[in-house]
Amino acid sequence: MSSYPDARSVVRALAPDEPILVNRPHAAARAARFFVERFPGKSLYAVKANPSPDLIEVLWANGITHYDVASIAEVRLVRAALPQAVLCFMHPVKAPGAIREAYFDHGVRTFSLDSVEELEKIVAATRDEDGEPAKDLRLCVRLRVSSEYSELSLASKFGCDLTEAPGLLQACRQYADWLGICFHVGSQAMTPFAYVQALERARVAIGEASVVIDMIDVGGGFPSVYPGMEPPPLEDYFAIIHRQFEALPIAYNAELWCEPGRALSAEYSSLIVKVEKRRGQELYINDGAYGALFDAAHVGWKFPVRALEDDLIKSLEDFAFYGPTCDDADYMEGPFALPSDIQAGDFIEIGMIGAYGAAMKTDFNGFGSSPRVIAEDEPMASLYDGSRVVERRDNVVSLR
């Protein structure tokens, strides 16, 4: 992969007619070290956020040893890249064949579930040749918790409620060598209070089940920084989670886990696009809703942008984007603030694409190609480079 000092250097060298993903391995390495050194427990990378083998190896090299895999394809991918990594199959609904392959072929022992039916499926798929149940299963019961403090909800699809949790925990305890509770507060949680609420639900479930709990997994939701989304310092999240965890009625040696995806990968990649046409305040660019900008189109996500031309005037105006396909839905309302004289032939860098953007590209309409290069400069925004000045509040939780 070719390396350049920055995105402008890429444009000067290549003048590309197709979008280019610009990777910054040093940014992902820094994020990994931040979680490894400061989160008071084990950090699992949520592979769905960006399954790039290059990124996964960067995270491994910087201390991320556990990986949250949500499909058998992700199990195979990470196992091929990292033979020694600990893989945790954290999708609560899995095919029997996927469970069987993960357990017997790839050494997976940790499985998430949110129903008795899924427990029965896991137990059946992992029996030995004599029909005996596996004795080394590590089971994690997923609770349904609120996503009200997050930008993207994950509250409706998975998780058992508090009326179901005690019985499911008791049933799992019969088969689990090691029993955990997990949940997900939603993507881009904008206040640590999201985890306080969720951990309180976990406390109630544990008390009613009266079983030994060996692990609490607070899931993902750790934010990155985007225009209009300035979260508190991650240290505030870690401190509050740790205090709540310490107060739970769990085993004395219980482990604390988290599953960052966005927070580890967002700063890894940006995207260089070319303006093909300007129509008033609408720019036609060569990536879009069916490419790395899915979130910008479908959930109105605001990504940072900057023009890469040196001769544009400094005054900014708000623009919307159209992507390259023939579909009217290939539209990103923004607003994206760019120089007022931007025009066809100019290039734009769109930042923080490393989480989900690079992973969700399709080949629809023949526009899937995006060469990758490396840039040595800093990402367009960062939680980890020391540039943000945000007051720490260990004892105060801000609510939106």
Beta strands in 91-211 (DSSP E): 110-113, 138-142, 150-152, 178-182, 187-189
At 396, is the pLDDT very low, low, confident or very high (cuts 50, 70, 90)? very low
Q: Which of 181, 159, 185, 156 is nearest to 92 (CA)?
A: 159
- Burial category of 74 from C-beta neighbours within 10 Å (exposed 0-12, middle 13-18, buried 19 and up): buried
Helices (H) and strands (E) in the chain, counts: 11, 19
Token readout for 118 is 């899924």
**How is the chain split into domains, by residue range?**
3-22+270-375, 26-265
339-378 residue pLDDT tens? 999 999 999 999 999 999 888 888 888 877 788 999 999 9
Distance CA 361, CA 368 (A): 6
Distance CA 105, CA 79 (A): 10
Length of the chain in terms of residues written: 400
57-102 residue pLDDT tens? 999 999 999 999 999 999 999 999 999 999 999 999 999 999 999 9
Neighbours of 371 (CB within 10 A): 15
CATH topology for the 26-265 domain = TIM Barrel (3.20.20)
Q: What percent of the chain has pLDDT over 90?
A: 81
Q: Which of 287, 186, 73, 383 is nearest to 89 (CA)?
A: 73
| Mean pLDDT over each residue of the chain, to the nearest integer | 92
What CATH code would you report for 3-22+270-375?
Answer: 2.40.37.10
Token readout for 156 is 């409706």
Token readout for 370 is 């995006």
The answer to whether residues 394 and 239 touch, using CB atoms and an 8 Å cutoff, is: yes
- pLDDT over threshold 50, residue 398: no
112-146 residue pLDDT tens? 999 999 999 999 999 998 889 999 999 999 999 98
